[in-house]
Amino acid sequence: MTTTLADAISTATHWLQSTEIDHVAAFIGGSAATADPETLYSPTSDIDCYLVVAGEPPATKIGKIVVENVLLDVSWLSWQQIEAAPTDAVVGSLLNFGIVVDDTDDRLQRAQRDLHKTFTHPTAVALRLDDMKQRIHKGLAGESFASSTPEQVMNWIFPATLTTHLPLVTHCVPLTVRKRFVAAKRVMQADAYEVLLGLYGFADISSRETQDWLDQTAMILAENTNLARESDRFWASDLLAPEIAIGGSQELINAGLHREALYWIIATSARCLTLRADAGLGESIFEAEFDRMLATLGLLDRSDRAAKTMSVLQWIDAFDSI
């Protein structure tokens, strides 16, 4: 049976409306909320689902679950976060472009309608842009004292590449996680985008190199699935969906977007190897291959990453709607 995105959203909606997990409202966000509903549902994508709770959200993320052959990625948000949406770059994007599916007292829909009214106003855009810049500064502040190189790289790559979100904020388009470089490329001037890629050593990497690194990442993931299943790391469930972690990156390479695939390849490898370090497993060929990739990108040593951090911070401080 052929499944359209509309079918997948319907499955997610039914789950959100019928789940016994305690919540006061729910909505669907991410790319599924803005894509053409008549397109085919891709196994390399999930449906981002958000459960809104009255108090503090639980510390443990629900993560990825399969419902009727549709992959859902379920997260928590608090009402406090919803109320801060006008000045919060991430929550503001999620709610503005989201699809409210469970809201018995209309409170979430009212918040969304209010957000729609001011979302593109210059003052609101400036506030969200400042919020995103602060996220980057905070994420890169200080040296990571994680014990393993993979965890250091993981802690660095996520905030460092939030630079891609600055042009998305200024253009008032949805933020995205895995395809952040693809989204940035669509709205940036070509020369400015090349500079952005260069901040991470991505600009001159070939398709062949990227494919080799993805193949290595696929092997790392396959060998460490059990560690992901047993881990209490909040992101571990992402590694249980190889159709996204590997298949999604392969899709980008096949589309000629190999440089845009690098970020998630690095993140996936770093996560797998962090779990190996958590489990006390010794060095292996996996770590050696990961180090070779990092060396090529200029990300292996702390001093290398510190230099790139300085370049990233200079770039965001000079950013002006490029």
**What pLDDT was estimated at residue 44?**
83
pLDDT tens figures, 287-319:
999 999 999 999 999 999 999 999 999 999 999
Collect all residues with Cβ–Cβ distance below 8 Å to 305 and sequence separation of at least 6: 152, 153, 156, 299
Domain boundaries, the chain: 5-119, 126-138+146-318
pLDDT-above-70 percentage for the chain:
98
Q: What is the pTM of this model?
A: 0.93
CATH ID of 5-119, from 3.40.50.720, 3.30.460.10, 1.10.10.60, 3.20.20.70: 3.30.460.10
With both helix axes pointing from N to C terminus, report the angle between 285-297 and 149-160 in degrees, rounded to the nearest 10.
Answer: 40
Pair 173, 97: CB distance under 8 Å = no
Phi-psi bin for 201: left (phi > 0), alpha (psi -120 to 50), beta? left
pLDDT tens figures, 26-62:
999 999 999 999 999 988 889 999 999 999 988 888 9
**What pLDDT was estimated at residue 128?**
98
Closest by Cα among 204, 165, 209, 208 to 188: 165
CA angle (232, 42, 204) in 5-degree steps? 80
Beta strand 99-102 pairing with 63-67: unpaired
**What pLDDT was estimated at residue 51?**
98
How far, in Å, CA of 161 to CA of 316, rounded? Answer: 11
Mean pLDDT along residues 218-245:
91
Cα 29 to chain centroid distance, Å, stands at 12
How far, in Å, CA of 239 to CA of 268, rounded? Answer: 7
How far, in Å, CA of 224 to CA of 66, rounded? Answer: 20
Strand partners, 186: none
> What is the average pLDDT score of the chain?
94
Query: What amino acid is encoded at 137 in this protein?
Result: H
